[in-house]
Every structure is written in structure tokens, then in C-alpha cells.
Amino acid sequence: MDTVIFACVHPEVVEAMKEEGIDLSGAQPRKLNAELARGTVLMVTMGCGEACPHVPGLARDDWPIPDPKGQPRVRVREIRDALRDRVRALLAARGWGRADKGTTDEHR
């Protein structure tokens, strides 16, 4: 009999994101495949370095972000906030931000 593994978002991540008004309680991690990568121009990976997945023709940026699994709540918040800041910087650098939205706390 095959073993079935049910992946889920780490509970500490679900809680940290809930604090920001984002509900990940029903989210499930997905394995990268060609269908998921279709239409993508940049793949951001988090701390896997040379072991990161490769998609031919797709630019990749590996961010040195620690895994939040099992981390204390304060550390998970720090990781969450670091990701938020990196995403904002990426959007600004690439010109992908929406002109009608600012980056104030009310537009997180």
C-alpha cells in the first residue's frame, strides 16, 4: 500500500498571516510543474540555492529566507515581514506595482 502524505501550510504561518488579514487555512502547498509555471516570468525561491527547481527559460531569484516551520511566533512574524518587504521591493523594481495603490499599511 502506498503512503499518502497530506501537505499543508505550517500552522505557525497560518496564524502569522491571519494577523495580517490573510486566511491560509485552506491553502495547500503545490509541487512546481510546467502547468503551474505557465505564463510566469520570474520564479522566486526561498533559500534552496542550487537545489532549487529549474524551469527552462524562466528567470529565478533565490531569496535567503529561513523556513518558518517550528519557529517561535515572533520569528515567524519577522520572516513574514521580511517577505512582505522583499515582495514590495520586487514589485517596485520591476514596475509591477499598481498605479492606483500606495504602499501604506491600508493597502497591504
pTM of the model: 0.76
CB 47 within 8 A of CB 63: yes
What mean pLDDT comes out for the span 20-38?
Answer: 89
CA gap 32, 29 in Å, rounded = 9
Share of the chain above pLDDT 90, in %: 49
Say how many Å lie between the first and final Cα of the chain, rounded. Answer: 46
pLDDT per residue over 60-71, tens digit each?
Answer: 899 999 999 999
Contact 95, 84 (CB under 8 A): no
Share of the chain above pLDDT 70, in %: 85
Tell me which residue has cell 517550528. Answer: 70
Task: Give me 34's grid cell.
Answer: 510546467
- Please, what is the average pLDDT of the chain? 84
Q: What are phi and psi of 25, to 5 degrees?
A: -60, -30
The pLDDT of residue 34 is 81
Mean pLDDT of 33-48: 86
CATH topology of domain 11-107: Rossmann fold (3.40.50)
Ordered by start, the domain boundaries in the chain are 11-107
